[in-house]
Amino acid sequence: MTLRYFTAGESHGPGLTAILEGMPSHVPLNLSQINQQLARRQQGYGRGDRMKIESDSVRITSGVRHGKTLGSPIALWIENKDHAAWADEMSPVAVRGFQSKRCIFYPRPGHADLNGGLKYDHTDLRNVLERASARETAVRVAVGALCLQFISTFNVSVTAHVIQIGGVGISKGRPDFSVINQKQQKSPVRCIDDAASKKMMAVIDKAKKAGDSVGGIFEVIFSGIPTGLGSHVQADRKLDAIMARTVMSIQAVKGVEIGMGFLAAELLGSKVHDGIYYDRKNKKFRRRTNNAGGFEGGMTTGENIVIRGVMKPISTLLKPLESVDVHTKKTCRASVERSDICAVPAAAVVAENILCIDVASAILEKFGGDSLKEVLKNYGAYCKYLSTCYPARHK
């Protein structure tokens, strides 16, 4: 990968940290645009009370000067406001006389609690929960939002919307990119279909009342993607595979689809594959349809990238499922933490942003360069090449 990043931080620790390496110099950065993405992640009908405590904003402590990247590693920090109430609980140094009242001994089905506890030999499963929590996605979104500003320089845009919650789906067919982008902003569940939006909210209310939770499906779309990002030559360079892994890395995502996805298994090839034509006006090879979701052979076709993630229902239930006291081995009810009922709209924002890291990385792999000017020069030369190929065949 051309871009590398790591995150660190516990859910109730002092804050979340990320280091991003490989971003070229002179990329203009707007901090408030990163904060806007963090705010979007915190919204969405069905989220719990934690999001009322946190109002995330990012601090950049390295790699950026006077609004432009330096080419050095970029360090980001987001404070956990809730930490104030957890200072002793999460203290990195021993606190004399402290006895935790927040130990977790009853693992929650669907969480990392039990596996992580056994693997890392933790008797208090909180030591697992704190890192496994999707609170971590806040700082990943910050990294992604930064990459979004880089890829915007290449006229790449991204949007995301929710297409299903708890079995309620949007009507078939999609308007174009800009309509989706506008409409998703107006819905509390980021759904472009008003009638479905209302039904989705009703499903969330019903689950909440029953002490239950719901999942769903979100869709991310990139437009303005150049042809030929990624590569067919090596498994770990296939951009569709890289992006599928990124979606799967989001907590609670259990499935990924690209383009037509699973539906393709039911149809004839003639109904699936996208015919090719030459757009003489724009001097571009195009596809008649985009069932492939913007990828063929692990490379971008130049059509929109369309990728979906399936999110399981939230695992923490107010009416908890069966579990076991890990010490006594007696049957009990699972622990309950403050929790969302539905986080599909938030997961859509997470996916939208963190997929920008992959696209930024692929752009850097294809065009190279240590300064933005150098990358743009290489990109310009490639665009020119694309608009002139192929020259007339020799007789």
Ligand X SMILES: Cc1cc2nc3c(=O)[nH]c(=O)nc-3n(C[C@H](O)[C@H](O)[C@H](O)COP(=O)(O)O)c2cc1C
**Binding-site string for ligand X from residue 137 to residue 156, where x marks contact by CB under 6 A and - marks none:** x-------------------
- Residue 191 interacts with ligand X (CB under 6 A)? no
The CA dihedral of 11, 17, 21, 24, to the nearest 10 degrees, is 110
Residue whose tokens read 């929960």 = 129
**Subset of 30-89 contacting ligand X (CB under 6 A):** 48
Please tell me whether residue 347 binds ligand X under the rule CB under 6 A: yes
Closest CB to ligand X among residues 314, 357: 314
Shortest Å, Cβ 307 to ligand X: 15
* Contact pick of 20, 125, 220, 252 for ligand X (by CB under 6 A): 252
Q: How far is CA 137 from CA 66, 77, 80, 102, in A?
A: 27, 13, 13, 23
Cα(360)–Cα(365) distance, rounded to whole angstroms? 9
Separation of alpha carbons 119 and 294, rounded Å: 39
- Count the Cβ atoms, other than its own, within 10 Å of residue 274: 18
Task: Kindly state the smallest distance separating residue 338's Cβ from ligand X, in Å.
Answer: 7
CA distance 253 to 220: 14
Annotate each residue in 120-139 with x if it binds ligand X (CB under 6 A) or - if it does not, as one string. Answer: ------------xxx--x--
247 binds ligand X (CB under 6 A): no
Identify whether 5 is preceded by a cis peptide bond (ω within 30 of 0): no
Determine which residue in the list 130, 257, 296, 340 makes contact with ligand X, applying CB under 6 A: 340
Output 306 or 341, the one with its CB closest to ligand X.
Answer: 341
Separation of alpha carbons 48 and 169, rounded Å: 23
Report in angstroms how near the CB of residue 295 gets to ligand X at its nearest: 24
Burial (0-12, 13-18, 19+ Cβ within 10 Å), 143? buried
Q: Is residue 11 within the footprint of ligand X (CB under 6 A)?
A: no
Positions 309 through 328 that interact with ligand X (CB under 6 A)? 314-316
Binding residues for ligand X, per CB under 6 A? 48, 110-112, 132-134, 137, 250-252, 314-316, 339-340, 343, 346-347, 350
